[in-house]
Amino acid sequence: MRQNYRLTISYDGTRYHGWEAKQNTDMTIQGKLEQILERMSKEPVKVIGAGRTDAGVHALAMTANVHLDTEAIRKQGTTPSEAGTALRDYLNRYLPDDICVQEAKAVSERFHSRYNAVGKTYRYTCYDAPQKPVFDRKYVYVLEHSPDLEKMRRAAGLLSGTHDFASFCGNPKMKKSTVRTIESIEIARHGARLAFTYRGDGFLYHMVRILTGTLLEIGYGTRSPESIPNILAARQRSQAGFLAPAQGLCLMEVRY
């Protein structure tokens, strides 16, 4: 008998080549999970993620699902009602210390972590104090100057809503629709940290990092908040801002 399990996963993406498994390296999040599950089940396993975070990007709560033979889990010495806990514990026993399965639970056969998702929340964190963030350097983008928050917030308001975000897509060969809805962009200061929180129905390849780069350019005065409508209308990647580095980005939540 096979059962569909939903996994909630946290990871530090610093060492990894992103979420998606690749043939030329075993240093991906999906690859690590599949490697351990295949060892347990003695058969090929496909872990389906809610999205594909880039190399160096982190996740507080990535969602994935996987279909497994329940007999393989029972061999870990558990009853069917405890299978989710046993699966979580088995994975955490063998996963490296920078990946953790927070929860594993049995779900409907029809549950699909990517197709059933209705929204995601990402947070991009910058740091702008004169002292180096020695212990947080892998999780923040260090800025040379402090940007103007009010200008960035004005621009964020113009980006919110349903738009064609082709100018903010890093894939020039994108054939599917580039229309997305951004429910909100919150820009908040917490001491030396500047957090950009993006909540929307979905995000294009590199979209959050390009949005952040564009907002920072507005905060530095090299663009105006009023340039946003023209950037959106252009539907050209070259019209938007720079690609902010990967280490500042974290997937916070996938909503269903």
Catalytic member of 12, 54, 89, 164: 54
Between the two ends of the chain, the Cα-to-Cα distance in Å is 26
Distance CA 231, CA 240 (A): 6
Distance CA 250, CA 227 (A): 27
Of 47, 65, 55, 57, nearest to 256 by C-alpha is 65
Is 97 one of the catalytic residues? no
**Structure-block tokens of residue 87:** 């699966």
Q: Are 238 and 170 in contact (CB under 8 A)?
A: no
- Beta strand pairing call for 119-127 and 48-49: unpaired
Q: Could you give the 3-state DSSP secondary structure of residue 81?
A: helix
**Structure-block tokens of residue 113:** 């972590």
Which residue numbers are catalytic?
54
